[in-house]
Structure 1
Amino acid sequence: MEYLVNVLYIVAFAMFIYGLMGLTGPKTAVRGNQIAAVGMGVAVVATLIAIRDTSNWVLIVAGLVIGVVLGVPPA
């Protein structure tokens, strides 16, 4: 399971970098933002898989929901 989590973190990291590269121009900014958002989702899933104590899931999911509610409209 640890191997899967590490692979997911590497994929998320690569998606963040690729998404940031897409933010350099107005034509590619929307796509770059979408790629970075998917990378964030992959990172959250990896974190949820890595956590052994399920009581922390509530805080992570609450933070995710707050971030989505506040971040999606401006994006």
Structure 2
Amino acid sequence: MAPAMLEFLTKELRATDAYRSWALIAADNQASLRAFQKAAFTPVCDVIHAKMATMDRLIVRPPDPEAQELLGLT
């Protein structure tokens, strides 16, 4: 996603009094990571999908209460 598109989206969200937005980006998606950085988005946490034997688990590092609530982990 181009930084200009993200900046436009940010302005649209602010027009509706939304000052916080979330994006889940795969760690290996360098193009998207750079685009969000150029658009001045700030990383909050890493979401890790841990597979242990027969159990899957989402882990948020560092623990962020809003991210955990958004992902249904609380």
Instruction: Give the shorter-chain TM-score range.
Output: 0.3 to 0.5
Give the TM-score, by structure 1 length.
0.32
Give the TM-score, by structure 2 length.
0.33
Q: Which has the higher strand share?
A: 2
Looking at both structures, which has the greater relative contact order when contacts are Cα pairs under 8 Å and sequence separation is at least 6? Answer: 1
Which has the greater radius of gyration?
Answer: 2
Q: Which has the higher helix share?
A: 1
